[in-house]
Amino acid sequence: MSGHHHDHGADAGDKRIWWAILVNVLLTFAQIAGGIVSGSLSLIADALHNFSDAASLVIAYGARRISRRPADDAMTFGYVRAEIVAALINYTTLIVIGLYLLYEAVMRFITPEPIEGWIVVIVATIALAIDVVTAMLTYALSKNSMNIRAAFLHNVSDALGSVGVIIAGTVVLIYGWTWIDPAITLLIAGYILWQAFTEIGSSIRLLMMATPQDVDIVQVVRDLRSADGVEDVHHVHVWALDEAHNALEAHIVVADPSNREVAGMKRRVRKLLLEKHGIGHCTLEIETADDRSDTDAKVIGHDVDKE
């Protein structure tokens, strides 16, 4: 029954993303048409930026679908990290867009260009409305998914671009201040880069199998060593399988290797790891002091107090 609800929720999320893709593609064509009619190169450029939003949503959608494929002989851990790869791609393109906007803003300070008429402001207003719709479609999903969050930030950056066009266009039409356009662009580029660099680290850490940020591995080792039946712990590795599941592997040295004692110790250790550290998937190698392996290896745990 729970699987049915999960699939239903996933399908509903997929539909939201499809609608977001559709409205963004339609908006892209509308902006290109508006740019051609008004002769505005900046509006066509904004259309291409918006097309990147649609592309980021397509990448996010594809990764979301792939991630639900079951594990097989080629991918024994499953395909869940497809979403992390997609997030990394989308954050990287956001950084490229942010750097490009910085370049464009600086160039416009050096050689100011005239801002087009009211049609630019009108189309930008329509674009903003579409961006808000897209944000509403993806916001709930972005809370629990690094993948969708990356696509959502693409959309937010485009919404800010539309706000910038509206403000700049209006100010220029009323006061003739052409410098406002690149000034606002600089602020938007700064925000995009700040968000992208803030978020991209999480996807890189996950792909590099880094220790999850919410896990104190030094404390994990101490807790394992203090567990009843455990003499020592070494060769400890903790990593995130995906955003929701942490895993651990460790070699545990026991004094009494009898099946009954080892079984009880494993239950206690698994309960400790899950309840105190949120680690639900663990692989434990049981050793005695005589057959202990990796004694000379530089692995996590050797420099932690055994007290």
* pLDDT reported for residue 274: 93
Find the range with the poorest average confidence among 35-44, 97-106, 155-164, 252-261: 35-44
Question: Is residue 163 scored above 70 in pLDDT?
Answer: yes
Question: Is residue 108 scored above 90 in pLDDT?
Answer: no
Question: Is residue 189 scored above 70 in pLDDT?
Answer: yes
Token representation of residue 175: 């006061």
- Per-residue pLDDT tens over the stretch 295-305: 544 455 445 44
Q: pTM for this one?
A: 0.77
Q: Does domain 217-287 have CATH number 3.30.70.1350?
A: yes
- Per-residue pLDDT tens over the stretch 260-295: 888 999 999 999 999 999 999 999 999 887 776 655
Q: How far is CA 268 from the centre of its chain?
A: 34
Q: How confident is the model at residue 187 (pLDDT cuts 50, 70, 90)?
A: confident
Cβ-based neighbour number of residue 298 at 10 Å: 7
The CATH number of 2-207, from 1.20.1510.10, 1.20.140.10, 2.60.40.1120, 3.30.2010.20, is 1.20.1510.10
* pLDDT reported for residue 117: 57
Give the per-residue SS3 of 231-259.
EEEEEEEEEECCCCCEEEEEEEEECCCCH
**Chain-wide mean pLDDT for the chain?**
81
Find the range with the poorest average confidence among 109-123, 229-243, 252-266, 275-289: 109-123
Distance CA 280, CA 247 (A): 6
* pLDDT reported for residue 6: 47
Q: Where are the domains of the chain?
A: 2-207, 217-287
Token representation of residue 144: 């629990």
Determine whether 216 is exposed, middle or buried from the number of CB atoms within 10 Å of its CB (0-12, 13-18, 19+).
Answer: middle
- Per-residue pLDDT tens over the stretch 198-208: 889 989 999 99
pLDDT more than 70, % of the chain: 86
